[in-house]
Amino acid sequence: MKRSRTSIGKLLQPLALAVALALATSFVAMAETSCVPLELSPCIPALSSPVSPSGMCCQKLREQQPCFCGYMRIPALAPYVGNPRAREICKSCGVPIPRC
């Protein structure tokens, strides 16, 4: 059976996110929060499938919330931080999305 481009793309999304997070791990915000996108890795299952975010994902989102605007400025991260599924996950965790 031949896989469509869409299903292959969905399979590669978590890998692409992990690579993007790894590339941006040295980013530090001006605030006291240490901005490390790799800290959001517990959210990958919820981002790449329709499962609910884990408690650890929600905790990491709360910790990294001050960094979201900075992450939006990183081209490799912007598609993940700004996508509708990411917004749903934040809402589910009760984490407000800042206006950047």
Cite the beta strand spans of 1-100 per DSSP E. Answer: none
Which of 22, 27, 58, 62 has the alpha carbon at shortest distance from 38?
22
Calculate mean pLDDT across residues 28-47. Answer: 80
CATH class of 5-93: mainly alpha
Which of 46, 73, 78 has the alpha carbon at shortest distance from 60?
46
Which of 70, 90, 72 has the alpha carbon at shortest distance from 80?
72
Cα 10 → chain centroid = 15
- The model's pTM: 0.67
> Which pLDDT band, with edges at 50, 70 and 90, does 83 fall under?
confident
What is the three-class DSSP state of 79? Answer: helix
* pLDDT of 22 strictly over 80: no
